[in-house]
Amino acid sequence: MTLADETVVTLRRLADDIEGRGGTKLPPEREIAQRLGVSRATVRRAIDLLVREGRIRRVVGRTGGAYLVRSSGAEVTGFELPSGRRLARDLNTVRGVPEMLNLQGFVEGTRVVDARLVPANGAVARALEVDSETEVLSLLRVRFADADTLSLDHAYVTLGRKMIGCDFSTSLYATLQDRFGVPIVATDEIIDTVGANERTGRLLGVPLEAPLLRLERVGYDAHDRPTEYSIDLFRADRTRLRVRTTSSDTEPSSRVRFGYADR
């Protein structure tokens, strides 16, 4: 399949997802091109094909763009899951977002908003079990799935200055393992729901108070040392959580993990 064909397939899928979430138009051509890593000409040709298929209509002017032509659907009772693909965020395995997206057939993308060294104050120091003012890497990124925003990730990493110059548009977990020999082998996560504020809504392109899944996580290396502390905000309209539970009489770990003793 050529790059142009892949772009058409991705935009068809994106149109279906946006319609399922109640949206009305595709993102601007320039943003789609940046998120997919293709030229604007390739995106324009793909949209032209969707126009000919009757899936998209072009509107010119200040409020113009590529608008969806809605398909008729069955009556909605309110109990159905809205249509459109969602990332199944598996809480039973330790995987980075790019790997999850690739395994589920999404085209993944990342925009690095900020990457710098900061002192590990407050919650960061407690989660990473380091002294206050210890220098850590602060990394803020927007994640994309099929050229639409998926999540906003803010990670703090104990390796700090060693990581300056790394390519942060790729998987952080893969970078830690492949470049520094520090695999993340276990995580503790706390899940809450929050509404988007002005800043997070702007970065994710969602309205104020749009529902977000907030995943607060500590990642541990092979020696059980806290290495990564992250707060991820996933769009609730693009994400599902998947958990497998079993009945067990096994005694819990003797270690009091993040979030259970002091919260």
Distance, in Å, from the CA atom of 36 to the CA atom of 30, rounded to the nearest integer, reads 10
From 68, 103, 120, the end of a domain falls on 68
- Residue 255: inside a domain, yes or no? no
Are residues 63 and 96 located together in one domain of the fold? Answer: no
Distance, in Å, from the CA atom of 185 to the CA atom of 177, rounded to the nearest integer, reads 10
From 21, 37, 68, the end of a domain falls on 68
Are residues 130 and 32 located together in one domain of the fold? Answer: no
Are residues 22 and 109 located together in one domain of the fold? Answer: no
Are residues 110 and 234 located together in one domain of the fold? Answer: yes
Structure letter (DSSP) for residue 232: E
The rounded average pLDDT for each run of 10 residues, N- to C-terminus, in the chain (263 residues) is 86 83 83 89 90 85 80 56 73 84 88 96 94 94 92 96 93 94 95 96 94 96 96 93 75 47 35
Are residues 52 and 169 located together in one domain of the fold? Answer: no
At residue 186, the 3 state secondary structure works out as strand
The whole-number pLDDT of residue 250 equals 57
At residue 61, the 3 state secondary structure works out as coil
- Residue 77: inside a domain, yes or no? no
Distance, in Å, from the CA atom of 159 to the CA atom of 117, rounded to the nearest integer, reads 10
Question: Global pTM?
Answer: 0.72
Are residues 107 and 208 located together in one domain of the fold? Answer: yes
- Residue 60: inside a domain, yes or no? yes
On whether the CB atoms of residues 179 and 170 are closer than 8 A, the answer is no
- Residue 257: inside a domain, yes or no? no
- Residue 261: inside a domain, yes or no? no
How many Cβ atoms sit within 10 Å of the Cβ of residue 198?
Answer: 8
Distance, in Å, from the CA atom of 193 to the CA atom of 150, rounded to the nearest integer, reads 15
The whole-number pLDDT of residue 254 equals 42
The whole-number pLDDT of residue 103 equals 87
- Residue 249: inside a domain, yes or no? no
Are residues 146 and 51 located together in one domain of the fold? Answer: no
- Residue 213: inside a domain, yes or no? yes
On whether the CB atoms of residues 133 and 119 are closer than 8 A, the answer is yes
The DSSP result for 128-180, as a single string, is HT--TT-EEEEEEEEEEETTEEEEEEEEEETTGGGGTT--TTS-HHHHHHHHH
On whether the CB atoms of residues 209 and 260 are closer than 8 A, the answer is no
Are residues 236 and 122 located together in one domain of the fold? Answer: yes
| Closest-CA residue to 181 (of 173, 171, 193, 190) | 173
Distance, in Å, from the CA atom of 229 to the CA atom of 2, rounded to the nearest integer, reads 39
- Residue 79: inside a domain, yes or no? no
Are residues 46 and 16 located together in one domain of the fold? Answer: yes
- Domain CATH number, residue 96: 3.40.1410.10
Are residues 207 and 121 located together in one domain of the fold? Answer: yes
Are residues 22 and 143 located together in one domain of the fold? Answer: no
| Closest-CA residue to 85 (of 100, 75, 95) | 100
Are residues 41 and 113 located together in one domain of the fold? Answer: no
Domain of residue 218, residue span: 87-242
Give how many domains the chain has, as a whole number: 2
- Domain CATH number, residue 35: 1.10.10.10
